[in-house]
Every structure is written in structure tokens, then in C-alpha cells.
Structure 1
Amino acid sequence: MVTVVAVASSPLPPLSVMRTLTAWRFAPGVVAVAGGLVGGYGAGVRRWQASGKGPWPRSRTWCFGLGVLVLLLVGCSFVGVYDDTLFWVRAVQNIVLLMVVPMFLAVGAPLTLFASAVSPPVRTRLSRVLHSRPAVLVTLPLVVTVVLVVPILVLYMSPIYEATLRDPVVSGVAGTALAVAGFVYFWTRFRIDPTPRPGSHLVTLAITIVEVVGDAVLGVVVWLGPLIAAGFYTALNRQWGPDPRTDQLLGAGVLWVGGDVVGLPFIGIVLARMVREDEEHARIVDAVLDRGDAGPASAGAEELPGAGAAAEPGTAAGRLWWEDDPQLADRFRHPR
């Protein structure tokens, strides 16, 4: 039997294994956001297919749908029911909103669909904004790292955390801010959607290390620091479950380890995209070389002593054209 909890602040029974499966609530804000995401994405897919660009990849649709499903789970399942009662449950919710939900949404490439759904003039204006200098500066690796790490640090190290427990509006705003910060990070790091700057997957892996350190710092501070929102949790007069100190220790472990665990599929996606882009670049290079080999034999004549053929513009005499190409020279450099 499913138990529906309408008011999160009402006395709750102990959180048992059965309750993790049967405790649900209706969260209008979460449901509205999820419905808007699904409706917008579905409209974008239909517009993409109607434009004759071919089928939209199902893997992207599944990933986006999984992100929406996870959002519903952390808002409406036992996580949403007990998020104002147990510190560690709120920690799970915040980590998922920051790391899991936006990661799957970003893999779904929603910005590409959005661009295909708007009119050409609007698309042109958006492209100008996307490639403007402010957009490039905001998406610098250092900036997006700060965007990912700082919000959750501020949340737990300031009175904002207790305010999220007392006011559902503040809680919704804070959760939205975490999800947006996470999306900006994953959008610019995966580069599935167009981004203001190309970036580097190697830099992304380095940023991941910084993020791991940030999780560790937050976990240690919460672990060793004073009780957070002690007055609120004491006023609940909860007679079951872990005591406030143990509850916070469990939450510190979630904040510390949870982000690192979520980072594993992130690293896997980055590595897969790095290999795919390298293979695509290799195919482009091979195609360019094949076209060069199929052209006139004048390139080969340059290597013959006494050949009178003039070198191509910008190419030193006696050198092949690809030796001066910045992308091809390193791959086919002559041994010294």
C-alpha cells in the first residue's frame, strides 16, 4: 500500500526499508518542472524530425528521460518525504540535484533541440549570444568549476540551509540553483550541445579532480563542524532513527562519497567522447590526405631534384603541403 504524505512537516513514522518503497508525496513544483521538460523535449524532437534532419538519437532521448525520472524520484519519493526530517536524506537530494539530474539532461542535448525549434532569426541571435565574449568568459574551465563547487558549499555553510528546511519556496529555489549549476558544468564539459568555447576533454578530467577535492572539503567540514540547523532538527523531537550528530555524519559521508561515485559515469562519458572525437578527427585527416593523393602529381614533383614547379602559396619550397598544416604536421612529422 502506498502512503501519500501531503505535508512534509507533519510527524512521520520511522524510515524503514518498506517506507523507502511506499512513502510518496505529490510535489506540484517538481511535477510541473518535469512536465515542462518532457513536453518541451518532445516538441523539440518532433520539430527536428519534421525538418528532415533525420531521426533524433534514441540514446539521447532515453538519457534526458532518465534525468527527468530521477528528478521526480528525489522530489516525490521517500527522499522528498523525509528531506526535511533527516539530514542525510537532504544530502542525498542535493547531490542528486547537483550531479545526477543535470548530467543526464545534458547528455540529452536539449539545447540543440531548442535551437532547431525556434525561428531562424531567433536562432541567429542566440548564436551571437552563445559566442559572445561574456559567454566565453563565463564558461572558462575555472569559472565552471567554481559554478559547480561553490553553490553547495555556500548552501551548507550559511543560514540558507536551515531556510530551505523551513520554507518550501526557498527549498525550491535552492534546488533549482543546484540543478542549473550542474547543467552549466556538464553542458560545457560534455560539449554535446554547442558551447561558447571548444574546451578540452583533458582539462575536463583535471577539473573532475578539483571537484573531487571540493566534495572532500565539504564532507570533512560537515563531519567535524558543529551541528547544522540544530534548532530546527531539535524542534522536530524525532524519537526514531539516528541522533542529530550521527545523522549529520551520515550526511557528510553522502556529500563526500556521493559526488565521487557520481563522477565515475561522468569520467566514462568524457573518455568515450574523447575517443569518438579522436576517431572522427582521424577520419577527416585521412579523407584530406586521400584527396591530396588523388590530385595532380605536381606535389610529388616538388621532391625531384631540379623540378621547376612552384611551391604552393605559404608552403616552403621542397616541402609537402601537409607538413605545414598545424593539424597534420604532428601526425606525419619526419623523424629527425
Structure 2
Amino acid sequence: MPAFSAVRIITLWQFAPVVTTLVVVAAGLYLWGVLRVRRRHPARPWPRPRTAAFLGGLTAIVIATESGIGSYDDVLFWDHMVQHLLLLMVAPPLLVVGQPATLLLHASRNPVHTWAKKLLRSRVVTAITWPPFGVALYTVTIIGTHLTGFMNLVLSNDAVHEAEHVLYLVAGYLYFLPLIGREPIRWRISYPTRLFLLFIAMPVDAFTGVILGSEGSNPFPGLAVGRPGWAPSPLNDVHTGGAVMWVGGAGIMFALMMTVFFAWSRETRGDRGLGWLESARRANFAAVVGAHRDAAASAGASRQPAGDARSVDDDEHLAAYNAYLARLNKPGDHSP
């Protein structure tokens, strides 16, 4: 293998049939859903930033596995760590922001629509999207794959290596979903709690990076097998990889925390601008119809008249309001 350089990241590509097929299928289905929503709601198309985010997440997966980064992941440990950050902390948040589950609800019809709603509210999905579960899975994944002998197994077994990639994507997605996502899952947590759950993950990255950066000997003998002459020593490579995990992981997590903080600030400023009475009305309304919002949004969206160019999220508010009025009109039932 030629010596690593920044140019190699762009010019040295390895074709991975399984990854390419899955990415193309995912992108095709997502874009099909976007077009379907546009046809059904021409005045309220699917937001372009969500589409860009989802496609960006898929692009990050391709770069991590098929570009020069993926080509050198068995040779350079620090490159391996860059790949891990892309699969664990870059691609999953972008996929979450793309809201594929919400798109499925808006674009599908029965029986797929009903099946999707039941799945999103099932006990299994509720359990695996529980925020503490996501934090635990994220923590165990980082520590278990970097501070144990698992790395030696990865370096010697291609199947385990590919399974590791899947694990990173799943762990990252389940961790970030309730923290930065807006999918119709059961969990709705406050902004302070989201910031806290993002913050407590930073020491995990830092701890792992510090341990790797302070190793006195090569902890992964597999790195020395077939090592090219141009590569740094295995120990120096591990130290650099630890720095990548520490600095890179902390930087990405800080950026995500700032994103959540600014979203919280915008929402707070909006509520203040409405006045205390309107804010109280909205808070009470959300509490009353919140349980019906996700199902009603998709079921009633197609019946809304065309108006100004708004996103499909406006349908959710209107459908929730209709559900609220329907409940008030039930004979003998005027309770919230």
C-alpha cells in the first residue's frame, strides 16, 4: 500500500458492494418519500435541510468506509479512529436530523402507514430509544471496542470489522435520536436534560483518548503485523489515535451541544415574544393533544388545503388542533 497522504483520501477508493448497495437503496427510498410528500402536499413540501442532512449522513458513511480513510483503517490506528468518529458521531446525528421515520409516516399509506405507527410505539422501540439506554450503549461501545482486546480481533477478522461499523452506526443513532431528533417516538425530554446527556458522554471520549495516549507499550499486537515501513511505530500510532478520540470526540460533542443550546434559546425567545398568556395557552394545548399529535399529523395532513409554502410540520399542529376540538365536541366529555 502506498504511503498515506491527504491526497490519498480523495484518490484511493475501495468499492464495498454491500455498503454501496445499502446507501443507494436508502437514498433512493428517502428521495422517493420526499417526492411523494411533495406531490401530496405541494404547498407544504418536505424541508430541504432534512433531506440534505440525511444525504450528508449517507455520504459520511461512504467516506468512512470506501474512501482513503477506509482503505487505511487496517494500517493506521489513528485513521481507524477517524473512521470511528465518522461512523459514531458524524453520520448518526445527520441521519437523525433527516427524520426518516417521520418521512415514512407522511409518505406512506395503509397498511405500511399503520404498521410504521405501531412499530414506532412498540415496546421494543420504546425500550431501545430510552435515553439512558442510548447513553449506556454509547459508553459500552466506545470503551469495549477501544480499551479491550476487541481491537485485535477486528484487525484479524474482516467480518468482525464490518460488524463493528454497524455497531457504531446503531449505537450513535440510538444515542442521538432522543437528544437531537424529532421523530414520533414516546420519549420527549427537556432541553436541559438533552444537554446533560450530551455532556456526560464527553468524559467517555476523553477517558478513552487519555488511556490510549498514555499507553507505555503497544496494546494491539495486530497493528505490528505486516506494518509498512513508512508508517509510524505502533505505539506512536496508538498515541495519535488517542488524541484523535479525545480532541475530535470532544469537539464534535461540543458542536452538538451548541446546536441543542441554540435551538433551546430560539424556542425560549419565541415563547417570550408571544407573551405569558399565549405561552401558557400553547403549553396547555401541547399537554392536552400531545399524545395524539403524531398519529393525527399523518392521517390528517393530506386533507389540508394548499396555502403558503410551509413545511409538513405545520400540518401536525393543525391536525393536533382538530383532534383537540373533536374531543371537546364529544357528548359529556369536556375534560382535558
Common fold: TM-score over 0.5: yes
Match of 2:212 in 1: 222
Structure 2 unmatched runs, 5+: 283-336
Q: 8 Å contact 2:142–2:205 — kept in the other structure? A: no
RMSD, aligned CA: 2.4
Asked whether 1:268 is paired with 2:258, we answer: yes
Moved over 6 A (4+): 288-291
Match of 1:192 in 2: 182
Match of 2:33 in 1: 44
Distance change >3 Å, CA 133–CA 81, structure 1 → 2:
closer
- Which whole-Å CA distance do the structure 2 matches of 1:52 and 1:268 have between them? 33
Q: CA deviation at 1:224?
A: 2.8
Asked whether 1:205 is paired with 2:204, we answer: no
Distance change >3 Å, CA 204–CA 88, structure 1 → 2:
same
Deviation readout 1:233-261 (Å, 9 max, x if unpaired): 22213211211100000001111111111
Q: CA deviation at 1:287?
A: 4.5
Q: CA deviation at 1:16?
A: 2.5
The aligned length equals: 279
Match of 1:296 in 2: none
Match of 1:235 in 2: 225
- Aligned residue for 1:120, secondary structure, equals coil
Deviation readout 1:133-152 (Å, 9 max, x if unpaired): 55444433322211222112
- Aligned residue for 2:236, secondary structure, equals helix
- Identity of aligned pairs, percent? 29
Match of 2:3 in 1: 14
- Which whole-Å CA distance do the structure 1 matches of 2:157 and 2:84 have between them? 16
The AA in structure 1 aligned to 2:71 is V
Match of 2:96 in 1: 106
- Equivalent position to 1:180, from 158, 170, 180: 170
The AA in structure 1 aligned to 2:96 is A
- Which whole-Å CA distance do the structure 1 matches of 2:275 and 2:97 have between them? 24
- Which whole-Å CA distance do the structure 1 matches of 2:6 and 2:38 have between them? 44
TM-score, normalising length: structure 1: 0.75
The AA in structure 2 aligned to 1:259 is G
Asked whether 1:158 is paired with 2:152, we answer: no
Q: 8 Å contact 2:104–2:113 — kept in the other structure? A: no
The AA in structure 2 aligned to 1:46 is L
Match of 1:89 in 2: 79
Deviation readout 1:22-49 (Å, 9 max, x if unpaired): 2222122221222122112111112222
Larger % of helix: which?
Answer: 2
Match of 1:249 in 2: 239
Q: CA deviation at 1:122?
A: 4.0
The AA in structure 1 aligned to 2:192 is L
Structure 1 unmatched runs, 5+: 1-11, 292-336
Distance change >3 Å, CA 47–CA 140, structure 1 → 2:
same
Asked whether 1:148 is paired with 2:138, we answer: yes
Name the stretch that deviates more: 106-115 or 116-125.
116-125
Q: CA deviation at 1:51?
A: 2.4
Asked whether 1:23 is paired with 2:6, we answer: no
Q: CA deviation at 1:222?
A: 1.8
- Which whole-Å CA distance do the structure 1 matches of 2:161 and 2:210 have between them? 24
Match of 1:4 in 2: none
- Which whole-Å CA distance do the structure 2 matches of 1:285 and 1:193 have between them? 28
- Which whole-Å CA distance do the structure 2 matches of 1:245 and 1:268 have between them? 34
Distance change >3 Å, CA 160–CA 32, structure 1 → 2:
farther
Between structure 1 and structure 2, the one with the greater Rg is 1
Q: CA deviation at 1:165?
A: 2.1
- Aligned residue for 2:45, secondary structure, equals coil
